[in-house]
Amino acid sequence: MTSYPFIEAFFRNVLEKSKGIQGRFHLCPRYGLEINSDQLEEVLKDDVRPDTGRKYPLVLMMPPRSQGRFTAPEGEWEKYRCVLFFLTPTYYTGNNQVKVPNKTTGTSTHTVPQDWHDMKRCAVSFLRVLDKVQIQKDLVQSTFRLGGSQDQERMIDPVSFIGSERISGIRLDFTFSLFVGCELEDYNQEDINSITIPEADPHPEHKL
């Protein structure tokens, strides 16, 4: 079954080729709570932990939500909704950052809208590469399909001054589908044949 490990590995491989992100991609396991302004600091400290060099810009992925029927005998496409945050520090360069510094103050000359712009460029490039790869590798027939271009399926929202490191950027909300095979990975036919059906509700009757 193709699922979360594939998504994480695939997106990481794409972002490793990004000149802006350079593979700084992290899956946040706390179901999105990390992105709140009072919690992202702990994510960067506990979950990211860059060993050497730059730690920004980076991409944080929230656990993807999915929906599907999961009962088609020939397999089916499972639809995912994914949220990625493309983030960079605001007003200061931090450790080995590429922003142009103000020589007087030591802070970046970038404005918040410019940070939004740069991170949106990375996000849009990411989507365009996913689209190219799914066609070039013929994934749309067997593995991965990027969602349609309707407004509700690809939304970008600016975010600003998150956490103690004052991170800004964009929130990308988009959809894609993965093919779900028809294999019963946790049961065999003998197991299914041996399942017994209760004759009645086993819960005893009592006064409510």
**Domain parsing of the chain, residue ranges:** 4-193
> Does the pLDDT value for residue 16 go beyond 90?
yes
CA 126, CA 194: separation in Å to the nearest integer?
49
Q: Count the Cβ atoms, other than its own, within 10 Å of residue 126.
A: 23
- In angstroms, rounded to a whole number, what is the distance separating the alpha carbons of residues 61 and 84? 5
> Could you give the percent of the chain with pLDDT greater than 70?
76
Q: Per-residue pLDDT for 35 more than 90?
A: no
